[in-house]
Chain A
Amino acid sequence: KAGVTQTPRYLIKTRGQQVTLSCSPISGHRSVSWYQQTPGQGLQFLFEYFSETQRNKGNFPGRFSGRQFSNSRSEMNVSTLELGDSALYLCASSRRASNEKLFFGSGTQLSVL
């Protein structure tokens, strides 16, 4: 069974640009969560989707958005990139409607220059 797949693995962008990250959950998993990981800050919750609906959102500005498709694949978009957006973006999927037993992808390392 394939794990959670995130693409691309690395991204380099400049300030002001926008970026789209993709996450394919484990087959049969309907919940997808997104996290931002930076050194010293741990894992910051961005948002969570289940059956194409955003159910929760963390404390991030509106520049961060996402969506989920009918096949449970999810995308995250960051507009007007800032230097502080440089981070590892992780997505995680869960089989259940709850967020128990999250399975993480390898992440997308975003560098904003």
Chain B
Amino acid sequence: GENVEQHPSTLSVQEGDSAVIKCTYSDSASNYFPWYKQELGKRPQLIIDIRSNVGEKKDQRIAVTLNKTAKHFSLHITETQPEDSAVYFCAASQSNNNDMRFGAGTRLTVKP
């Protein structure tokens, strides 16, 4: 089955700086890669996703890049703000297979 590794496990940045979280996956058949944000005590929420036929996707300050050959994808957050502080999870799956596998999460802290 799919195995997703996520790095780093914790990340601390200064407000206004950029943050990058990286994930690798093992199953070359995976074609759907979402990112979820979980604030303390709250439920995970989808913030951005990308399919394998796209190399990059942006949504305001958030972007995701995908390298299918290397089987890794990354989340980029620019101009970080304190409200970006949360745990971020990457995931991978085949879009026709509901077996979604998540990374272990990255705790991002944005210092004001």
A: number of interface residues (CB 8 Å): 29
In Å, the complex CA distance between A36 and B62 comes to: 27
Does chain B have a CB within 8 A of A33? yes
- CB neighbours (8 Å) of A43 from chain B are 44, 89, 91, 102, 105
Q: Of B32, B44, B96, B104, which is in contact with the most chain A CB atoms at under 10 Å from its CB? A: B44
Select which of A44, A56, A104 is within 8 A of B98 by beta carbon.
A56
- CB neighbours (8 Å) of A70 from chain B are none
Does chain B have a CB within 8 A of A66? no
- CB neighbours (8 Å) of A41 from chain B are 104
Within 8 A of A (CB), among B44-94: 44-46, 49, 89, 91, 93
A100 adjacent to B95 (CB under 8 Å): yes
Output the least CB separation between A65 and chain B (Å).
17
- CB neighbours (8 Å) of B102 from chain A are 35, 42-45
- CB neighbours (8 Å) of A105 from chain B are 43
In Å, the complex CA distance between A84 and B104 comes to: 18
Q: Which residues from chain A sit less than 8 Å from chain B, CB to CB?
A: 4, 31, 33, 35, 40-45, 48, 50, 55-56, 58-59, 90, 94, 97-107
10 nearest A-B residue pairs (beta carbon): A42-B104, A43-B102, A99-B98, A48-B98, A56-B99, A104-B43, A98-B95, A99-B100, A42-B105, A104-B44
- Ordered by A's residue number, 8 sampled pairs between the chains whose C-beta atoms are within 8 Å are A4-B43, A31-B98, A44-B102, A45-B101, A94-B98, A98-B32, A98-B96, A99-B32
Q: Which residues from chain B sit less than 8 Å from chain A, CB to CB?
A: 1, 6, 32, 34, 36, 42-46, 49, 89, 91, 93, 95-105
